[in-house]
Chains A and B, each alone.
Chain A
């Protein structure tokens, strides 16, 4: 079964305490993996797209990596403004159709 699982569901960090969020997937025919940030009551904000295993992308304090089974979003020295829900989504082929599936997200809280 095609699945996208994010862990942990929630993460509480002290300001400056680096950590990683995980997105694991069990799909075949991966076309792309996306990371988004979503603030409460708002639409997601695009962060990264990763297309193949070994690929890495960085933006400010965030770095996304991809393997054949999972992706990590590393947050270095987070600040309170990094508090949000981080979503990953996987685009893949299934039964001849192109599909996209989102994970349920990791809610990150960064405490000053």
Chain B
């Protein structure tokens, strides 16, 4: 089956530092990758959609300069949380899909838990 990995699984950082999260599709080429964040006991919130080789499309209310997304290849997308603050602490989850539309089957990574002190 389609496997998506994320690294790191957990990260603790100081306020003001930047954190990079990697999302890889291990056994398939993902045309599109999606980034979500999830707060405790809350829904997943779509942050952005990224297609290989092009700029990411951000959801309303998500700061592009704060959450930098790079989709360098068909198997790798990265999310960089710049100048992280405690309110950025959350569970970040990526997903990958074969097609370009969000209704395509998405395969989710295991998530990255970020704690900003």
28 residue pairs bridging A and B, Cβ less than 8 Å apart: A31-B101, A32-B102, A32-B103, A34-B106, A36-B108, A41-B111, A41-B113, A43-B6, A43-B95, A43-B108, A43-B110, A43-B111, A44-B93, A44-B95, A44-B108, A45-B108, A46-B107, A49-B105, A51-B103, A87-B43, A87-B44, A89-B44, A91-B102, A98-B101, A100-B46, A104-B42, A104-B43, A105-B43
Instruction: Please report A residues at the B interface, Cβ cutoff 8 Å.
Output: 4, 31-32, 34, 36, 41-46, 49, 51, 87, 89, 91, 97-105
A43 touches B42 (CB 8 A): no
* Chain B residues, CB < 8 A from A45: 108
* Chain A residues, CB < 8 A from B42: 104
* Chain B residues, CB < 8 A from A105: 43
Q: How large is the interface on B (under 10, 10 to 19, 20 to 34, 35 or more residues)?
A: 20 to 34
A102 touches B45 (CB 8 A): yes
How distant is the Cα of A83 from the Cα of B59 in the complex, in angstroms?
A: 32
Contact residues, B43-57 vs A (CB, 8 A): 43-46
- For the residues of A in contact with B, the DSSP-based class is strand
Question: 7 smallest A-B Cβ distances: which pairs?
Answer: A43-B108, A32-B103, A102-B43, A102-B44, A43-B93, A44-B108, A43-B111
Contact residues, B28-75 vs A (CB, 8 A): 41-46, 59-60
B43 touches A43 (CB 8 A): no
